[in-house]
Every structure is written in C-alpha cells, then in structure tokens.
Amino acid sequence: MPSMEGRTVVVTGANGGLGHEATRVFARQGATVIMACRSVERGERAKAEIRRTEGRTRVPEDALDVRECDLASLASIRSFAEGVAADVDAVDVLCNNAGVMAIPRSETEDGFETQFGVNHLGHFALTARLFPLLRAAETARVVTHSSAAHEQGEMDFTDLNWERSYGKWRAYGRSKLANLLFAYELQRRVEEHGIEDVKSVACHPGYADTGLQGRMADESGNPLMKAGTKLANAVLAQDAAKGAWPMLYAATADIEGGAYVGPGGFLNMRGSPVVMRSNEASYDREDARRLWAYSVEETGVSFPFERE
C-alpha cells in the first residue's frame, strides 16, 4: 500500500469492524482520516484504541478526526458534509463503508426502509454532497462497499421501500445490489461529463468476522443461530483486518474506474484482493439509471456536474 501522506480520507462507519481496520491502516500510512460515525462516543473510543496500539507518534492526535454522521438522517449527512467542507480543501478518498445487515423492518428519520436508506440512499447523498471536495483533489476515488449478498438482490421499483412485503435478507441483498448499480453508474456519469480526476469503484470483504454476524445472531434470540454463527466464523471467516484488504486495495491500487474488488481465495470468501466481476444484474444500465433518478428524487440531493 502506498504512502498516504498529505491525503484526506473519509471513512463511514469508522468506529467498528472493517471501517475501523481500514482507518487504522490509512492512518498508519500517513493519511488524515475523517471518521464519519453515527456515535461520536464510539468513534472517540476507536480513535484512542488506534493511537494506543499503533503508537501516538506514528498516529498523532490530528491524524484522526471523529465527526458525527448518521446515514439514517439526511439532515445529519448534510451537516457532516458542510462541516467537512468548512475545514478541508479536498477529499482524496471516500469509503462508503457503513451499513446495517438483515435487521427487522424499520424506517430512517426520513421514512426510508432502513437497510435501503442507510446502505444506499445515505451514501448516495453523502457522495453527492462531498463531490466538490473530491473534484478538488488532484486525483480522488469513491469506494462503495458491497457484499456477495448482492447476488441474492432484486430491484423492484414498484416497492423499493418494502411497504408491501419485507424479508430482512432480501432487503439486505437489494441494498447491496443498489450499492453496485450506484458505483458503476457514478463511474459512467463522471466519464460522460469528462471528469478524469475522480474514479468510482466497488468492493466486497468476503466473509469477515466483524462482530456484525454475532450481533445479528444475538438479536435473533435463537441459540442455534448463535452457535452456527460462532462455528462459521471460526471455520470460514477471515479476521476484520484481512476483511478490510479489498477496501484498502480498491482505495489505493492502480485499477480502472468501475472495478470491483474482492478476496481471490476460497469461494471469494477470503484471501488477497483481486479485481473480479459482480453479477449480471449489477451491470444493468437501465436499472442503474432508474435507481439514480429515484435516489435524486427521494433524497433531494443531486451531483454538482448534473447541474452545470
């Protein structure tokens, strides 16, 4: 991984799991990392842990900047982006990492089904609001974190908010498919507008033990699920540090815009990162255009180059 000296990186969900591990490595390589966290308290604890384990000289106080950003709130996203714009001149890397997985149906502050609202719409709005700072960098990259679960996702534009029926895993799969449709469409649109200094790429972590699976099993109250999750993590999963490799690779390696990065080992669940293909549905240009238009309409946020 190259030096990140002089670069500013924004990581959503930086206080835990893959976001925490990616933040650690970005900071270790010299970047200033803006830790976009729903809970500032948890973000500050993560910051303290990184500085303690990496060394306070190697990761100075101002290398990690914890800020509140609740992706379930368009107002919070706007406030976060305005605060960042007031304090930094450019953003070199945006890692759209935070997310929720397979939760009971609920709605965000703005009335979106939570998995679709947080995993896709929140990151769509955040990327659009930070886009002027990305363009201000010499070269910039947007990394959108998806999942192998996108392969089970289906786009139903008559019920994106899951008001007629709801399945927590189907909703998760759709949100992860939406991540890829967005990432690839963003790359197509920056190319169409002649923007050569911003790339949009995507990644997935494989099967990584981030604690997310354990929390989901605990919430289920099912002892068999708890035991099965614990066994699967022990046998199949790689640790969170390795799970962050595809995101780090996607953020820094010499790859093409529109690339998709994931583990190249056993069943693409573990191993070193490689560029691969996602499923055919994720490359559906008509669905991508429909999703983009829906996202603009629902969030009320558009990308600056489409207003020029």
Residue 272 to residue 308: CA distance in whole angstroms = 41
**Amino acid sitting at position 65:** D
User: Hey, is 24 helix, strand or coil?
Assistant: helix
Q: Is 294 a catalytic residue?
A: no
Report CA 220 to chain centroid distance, whole Å.
25
What are the percentages of helix, strand and coil residues in the chain, rounded to 5? 50, 15, 35
User: Hey, is 30 helix, strand or coil?
Assistant: coil
**Amino acid sitting at position 144:** T
With beta carbons less than 8 A apart as the criterion, state whether 132 and 90 touch.
no
Closest CA to 299 of 124, 40, 55: 124
Pairing assessment for the beta strands 198-203 and 260-263 based on DSSP bridges: parallel
User: Hey, is 41 helix, strand or coil?
Assistant: helix
The H or E element spanning position 202 is strand 198-203
Catalytic site residue from 166, 172, 207, 249: 172
Beta-bridge partners for 203: 145, 261
For 163, other C-beta atoms within 10 Å of its C-beta total 11
Residue 84 to residue 67: CA distance in whole angstroms = 9
User: Hey, is 219 helix, strand or coil?
Assistant: helix
Q: Which residues contact 22 (CB under 8 A, 6 or more apart)?
A: 11, 14, 95, 97, 244, 247, 248, 251
| Catalytic residue positions, numbered | 172
